[in-house]
């Protein structure tokens, strides 16, 4: 019995049972860093930062100047195929409450997309951020 267990353990070690034949890559570390970074602060204009995380995910972060937070009902992330998407040209959008400054947006279509965020006041976009192009994979 002991010999068979020893033989099985040796065989598993040689075969590498359960071990992946792939090596880790630095992009997984970069993704972890991107997922854990903080939104911009102390900004003078509405500022958007966006990056592709892989698996059709995009990390959206934005900084809002103090003046734009007054009477803000929330924020809307806009996505489109062309520069500077607005409510008329955006192919998709996501609304966040007034305390949020970031979102990992999943299940986005692959390819190049443009993102902006706007401050919602009286159920309309009162001001827009910069445009950021992201190549979603």
Q: Along the 137 residues of the chain, how does pLDDT read in single tens digits?
A: 444 444 444 443 333 433 333 222 222 233 444 456 777 878 999 999 999 999 999 999 999 999 999 899 999 999 999 999 999 999 999 999 999 999 999 999 999 999 999 999 999 999 999 999 999 99
Ranges of H-type helices in the chain: 2-15, 26-36, 66-69
Q: Give the pLDDT score at 40.
A: 81
- Strands 92-96 and 124-128 turn out to be unpaired
Instruction: Give the contacts of 96 (CB within 8 A, at least 6 positions apart).
Output: 74, 75, 76, 77, 103
How far from the centroid of its chain's Cα atoms is residue 67's Cα? Answer: 26
Compute the C-alpha angle 46/54/26, nearest 5°: 105
Determine the Cα–Cα distance for residues 129 and 101; give it in Å rounded to an integer.
13
Q: Give the pLDDT score at 21.
A: 31
CATH class of 42-137: mainly beta
Whole-structure pTM value: 0.73
**Which residues is 50 bridged to in the sheet?**
60
In SS3 terms, 100-122 reads as CCEEEECCCCCEEEEEEEEEEEC
């Amino acid at each position: 019995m002991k010999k068979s267990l020893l033989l099985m353990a040796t065989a598993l070690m040689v075969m590498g049972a359960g071990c992946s034949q792939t090596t880790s890559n630095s992009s997984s570390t970069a993704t972890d860093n991107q997922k854990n970074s903080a939104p911009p602060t102390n900004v003078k204009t509405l500022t958007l930062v966006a990056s592709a995380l892989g698996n059709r995910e995009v990390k959206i972060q934005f900084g809002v100047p103090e003046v734009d937070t007054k009477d803000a009902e929330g924020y809307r992330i806009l996505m489109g195929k062309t520069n500077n998407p607005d409510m008329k040209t955006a192919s998709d959008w996501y609304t966040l409450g007034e305390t949020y400054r970031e979102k990992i947006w999943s299940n986005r279509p692959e390819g190049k997309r443009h993102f902006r965020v706007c401050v919602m006041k009286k159920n309309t976009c009162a001001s827009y951020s910069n445009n950021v192009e992201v190549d979603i994979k």
